[in-house]
Each structure stands twice: as structure tokens, then as C-alpha cells.
Chain A
Amino acid sequence: MGSKKTRNMWKAGIALVTVKLFATLRDHAGERELRLEAKNVGEVLNQLISKYGPDFQRQIDKAAVLVNGRNITHLKGKQTRLKEGDVVSLFPPLGGG
């Protein structure tokens, strides 16, 4: 904390967040967790699509997105702002018990 880069990021409202992928999203992405810099959830999703391709977009379209355990549909959807250290979790439509 206190580095020039961090202060600049803070000023721009960009946060370093952890993105966690679950269930078949892991198969599609080939990994389960990554760190990204983003202002809001929408930017996270766009970066994931850029990284993993249009097939992954089809998966994201079906996925529930949580920020720190809260569903973004109860927050501000893709406009939900992120802060440093937030955890963004993506889940495909699950069945289970």
C-alpha cells in the first residue's frame, strides 16, 4: 500500500480482485482462480471473455455471479463497483442436493 501504482489505481477506481471459477467453468477456462484489475463486474466479465474466448462467453451468459458471496442481481448487476480484495465468483446453473 502506498506505492505509486496503487495510488494511481485507487484514484481511477480500479481494484485488484480475485476471480474464482466453479464447476464446469473450470473445465472451459482450464483454471480455477485468477487475479484481475477492474472497476466493476462488467469489466471482469469482458476480460474473462477476452482471455478465454467466445465459447467462454456462452458459459458466462448462463452463470450466476457473486461478489463476496452476494449475487450481483441483488447489487448493481454488471455495474457493481469493485474494491480492492473483493472476490468475484462465477457459478454455472447447478443442480445438486
Chain B
Amino acid sequence: MAYGYMGKVLEVNLSTNDINSYSLPEKTLDLYVGNKGLAVRLLYDLLTVGVDPLSEDNILIVTTAPLTGTGAPSSNRFNVTTKSPLTGAIGDSNCGGNFGVHLKRAGYDALIIKGKADDPVYLEVTDEGVTIKDARDMWGLNTEESQEALPEKAGKMVIGPAGENLVKYACIVSEERVAGRAGVGTVMGSKNLKAVVASGNLKPRIYNEELFKEAVREWRDILKSHPSTGEELPRYGTSIFINRTSATHTLPTRNFKHGQFKDAEKISGETLADKYLTKNIGCYGCPMRCGRQVEVDGKPVKGPEYETIGMMGSNLLMNDLQEISNWNRQADLLGLDTISLGNTLGFVMEAGEKGLIQTDLSFGRSDNISKAVEDIAYRRGLGDDMAEGVRYLSQKYGGEYFAMQVKGLEMAAYEPRSALGMGLGYAVANRGGCHLGAGYVVFLEANGPITVDPFTTKGKPGLAVFNQTVLEAISTLGSCNFTNYAVFPEQLIKMYNKSNVVSSVVNSSLTLSGNKVGKFMSRPKAILPKSVFQMAFPHIKAYSHLTGKEMSPVDFLKLGQRVFNMSRLFNAREGITGEEDTLPARLTDELQRQEEPRSRVPLSRMLPVYYRLRGWSKDGVPSNRTLKYLEIDK
């Protein structure tokens, strides 16, 4: 009998109305665990190669993790994975809403959705049965109305009009959180699936209740006592990074023309907290509570995150937080990814300036944004083209130089010409221009408490591998990436700041040995005592006591490696290889600032090193040897 897991996955075919449930082999669960790891393995196994992502042949997979719904802190996230209609590559998106918790209460670890319904439907999943229900009178509702139309005490995931109209970066909403990227909402819409609602009374079993509860308590204490997760994030939310990224020239400004915004203070986390915040909100079971509540039209609603403030703010030269909050609310209701949205608007503004596109959208002009957002969601006028994303727009109208996308996915709110390792990360991230898939290297270069020289390429390939490995493992275990902010203990930060000698040694070690660290990730060995490793990654202890399965530090690192390589393999099988590990020419060819001669991304220098550290061919494809080591079946 399973511990942590509910022991079944649910498969629904909307073309045939077949509903099935079955168990997965234990080996699959041991190797891929849950969330994005399990999802990409299942998608690889079930999906035919070369399908049109918007056809009924695509598959949408929702996964949870063993830690989901057990009381482990910040570990209730669920994942939605599919073949992305925006990129043709793996499209996996994570969400802090409570749908996953309820899916497990209904008795399932995962939900696999195949086919396409003839008319709009929604899926009702309970521990007493699964039904496909008519959603024709829900079709057209925004995401809030959709959730309100469904039973109150249940987990829900819904799309809005943008998903229904197949906008290529439509998202899925659960509570007030979003599975934003890569068009997962678009695929849901292409299946005529408006919503999934889950409820039940089942609970995951715990292998060792006492030790698990103790591990959870310790973990919670770490998160609450660390300054990043216990003070700054709760007080200010994710947008606290705005002033920091602007100061370090890593805040996209004017469609990534610059990295610093003169009005950063006006759209900062500090200003948000002082002038607009009405309440903190948190994901289910998270002590950090980094979500913001603000007022829009006199109503308390979810406030904007860092990414939205960057992409709809500095990136468009907009400096009014109330307006940005309004647009955030509008995007949430329509079901649009705010990162791709802001990036697309920025592209159109610049293309308009250069006479490539006829538009009245322009940097700093805010009165016509709301209409543009609406036009995108309903594919009206230029909105029909804008709904396709910047790669399409630049191919149709020109402007590839400043189309800030990788593999078709619009880049997120970090400008990498002042954080060169982040540039490499963006180029190789599996789902495209994603800051998380990049390994979020910018944290080690510009906005974290311990930072290496942002303008060197030394060691950056290895640090990217290391970061990516850790974040993949954390995400696969079901936890929020923010749990990783507690990884540098406070004492280490103090030692680093106290002494020039210590900080110099740390910085040069990280750059000089960064590539060795990366190589080590590909073949990890036990060099740190398990207890030390577990302090940095309490996820391991919780997982082990929950499931009764041992997870060593080496297992943890191999898990991160395995998931990253599995996604890479999926992409390669779809014909997406190293040729698409690129960056827009603005970032590789143009200096961000004349006064900083190193402020552009020398991608071609870093890429071959990265591939070597990863154990990939010179075309960026995992070698058979690497796949064998990671026990990945082709």
C-alpha cells in the first residue's frame, strides 16, 4: 500500500468519454516522484511524436507529489504539463492553487486528459466517481465567475476567455494562483475543457507519523526564522526584487533595451506594501504568505507579482502600481500569462516605433493597455496577431533582433546582459525563455545575499547546472522554489559580509570551481554529511519519513538531473535541439551599457562548456551514456 501517494492515476478521454484509473509502476514513482518529473515521463510515454499541440492528439497531464496535502510546508503545488502550442516543446507549468490537494483527496495522484470534447465540458472528480459534465453555460465566463459557478468546498482549475479563444499564452487559474506559462490554458481550451473540479475525503498515508511531523516542524521553523523566507517575502512579496534588479541593471526596461528603470521605486515592493497592500495571502499550507492583496475598483483582489510588475511595468515604461494591479487583475480574469503578455506588448511598442507595425501602443502610454489586453483575449484586430506571441509577430512583421523570446517562449523579468550566467540559463531552459528553467542563476549573480561577478563567464555553465538541478528536484518533490531561499544559512551570510577575505574566497571559489560543481552534478557523490545536506534541503527528510523510502543527497541531485534531462529528451524527440539554444541578438550583439564593456551575453563561449558538463552531444542532446546513468528509458 502506498505512503504519500494515493496509488492511482485517472485518465479521461474527452473524445470517447472513456474514464479509467490505474496504478503506475513503483519504479516510475521512485525515479520521477511527482509534479514536473512524473508529468514529463508520462507525457513522453503517452504522446505520439509530432502532434499538433492544439489537436485532440495532444495530452494534458496534471500531477501532484507525495508531499502534497500532507502538512509539509509550501509543498502543495501542482503541475500541468503538455506539448506547448507556443513553442512545440515541453510546456510544464506549476501552480500554488489548491487543486492538487483536492485531487489527492479524491484519490488520485495525477490526471491525464486526452482527446477533445465535442462541446464545452467540465470534469468532476470525486472519491465516489468521475463525471464529464456539460459546460456550455460556463463557456465565456471569466476565471473568477467560472470558479464561483463550481462547488465551493472543492479544488478547481479553470480557463478564461483567453483559453477558450486559443490565445497561445492562455493560462490555468486555481483559486487566485496561476499555472501561467507555455500555453497550458490554450491546450485545455483546445479540448473544450472549461474546468476540472475535485473533492473527496481521502488522505495520503504517512509511513512514520512521528518523525514526519518532527521533520515538518523543523522545516517550518527554518522557513519562519530565515530572513528571506520569514521576513522579507512575507512583508513585501515577490516584488521586493524590483529595486534590487533595477540597481543591478537586471530589470527589463523598454523591451529589454535597458536594465535599469528610473521609476523603479514607484513600482517597487516597498511602495506596494506601503501604499496598496491590504492583506497578505498565501498558498494552502505555506508559512511565507508572499501573495499580495490589493484593491481594484474598490474590490480586494490578488495583487501583482514581481514578474507582472517587471513585464507590465518597467518593460513598458509604466510607473503606476494601481494601473499595473488593474491590468494584472484583468489578465487573471481573462486567463492570460502576464509574462508573455507584457513581453508581447513591449515588442509591439518597439515595432510600432520602428514603423514595422501600425499601432497606437507606445512605451509609457497607459490609457490604451486595457483595451489591448481585451483585444488579445478575444483576438480582435491586432489582438489576433498579438495572441500568437512575439516569435510569430517578429516573423510576420520583422524585428527578430528585439523579439525577446527563446524557443518561442517570451523571456521573463530579468535582463541577462548584467548577469551573464542567466543569459546562458535562458538559452538552455527546456520550456524556452524561462527564468526558473534557467536555474535562476541571476540570484547568484545579482539579487541574492551571496553573489559572484555577474560579468564573468567563468564557472557560470557549472553554476547553471547546479542551480537547475536543485530547482528541478525541489519542484518535482512538490515544493515551492522559494523554499530554496533558506538554503544560505544566516550565519553564512553574516560571515560572508563581515570579512573581505571570506567573500573574496567564496566568490572566487564559486567562479573557479563552478564548472567542477556542474560536472559533479552530473555524477554526484556523497561528500557532505546527510544531516548537513538536509539542513539546506529539508524536503529530503520529509519525503523519506512520509514515504518510507530513503532519499539520499545523491538521490536528490540525481532526481534533479533526471527530470531536466527527461525534458531535454522530450524536446529532442520533437526535433528541438541545441540549434534552438539561442538568445535574441539584442542580448548577444548589443552592449547594455557603453560604460560596461562586458554587458552582453557571449553565449557561444558558454554553450559548449555547458553541454559538456551536462553529458550532452555538441548538438545539445543527452548522450546514451548520460541517459543510462540517470536510468532514463528512451
Contacts and interface: CB of A to CB of B under 8 A. Distances in A.
A26 B541 CA distance: 37
A79 B500 contact: yes
Q: In the complex, which range does the number of interface residues on chain B fall in?
A: 35 or more
B493 interface: yes
A97 B497 contact: no
Interface stretch (A6-14, A47-55, A65-73): A65-73
Contact of B232 (A32, A78, A93): A93
A97 B307 contact: yes
Nearest to A33: B265
A96 B269 contact: yes
Given A22-B270, A62-B227, A69-B249, A77 B233 contact: no
Contact of A95 (B485, B496, B507): B485
Contacts of A1: none
Contact of B482 (A61, A64, A65, A95): A95
Contacts of B235: 23-24, 27
B451 A96 contact: no
Interface size class of A (residues with CB under 8 A): 20 to 34
A96 B500 contact: no
Contacts of A64: 448-449, 451, 497
B497 A94 contact: no
B500 A77 contact: yes
Contact of B269 (A23, A74, A76, A77): A23
B241 A97 contact: yes
A63 to B, nearest CB: 7
B500 A94 contact: no
Contacts of A74: 451, 453, 507
Contacts, number: 113
B247 A66 contact: yes
A20 B449 CA distance: 17
B490 interface: yes
Contacts of A92: 227, 231-232
Given A22-B270, A64-B449, A73-B496, A96 B238 contact: yes
B241 A94 contact: yes
B286 to A, nearest CB: 12
A66 B249 CA distance: 12
Interface in B496-540: 496-500, 503-504, 507
Contacts of A97: 238, 241, 305-307, 481-482
Given A63-B497, A76-B500, A96-B306, A22 B244 contact: yes
Given A61-B497, A73-B451, A77-B500, A96 B240 contact: yes
B488 interface: yes
A56 interface: no
Interface of A: 22-24, 26-27, 32, 60-66, 69, 71, 73-74, 76-79, 89, 91-97
16 contacts: A23-B269, A24-B227, A24-B231, A24-B235, A64-B448, A64-B449, A73-B500, A73-B507, A74-B453, A77-B503, A77-B504, A92-B227, A94-B240, A95-B233, A95-B288, A96-B236
Given A61-B498, A96-B241, A96-B447, 20 more contacts: A22-B243, A22-B244, A23-B235, A23-B236, A23-B269, A24-B232, A26-B270, A61-B494, A62-B493, A69-B260, A73-B503, A78-B500, A91-B244, A93-B493, A94-B240, A94-B244, A94-B448, A95-B240, A95-B482, A96-B237
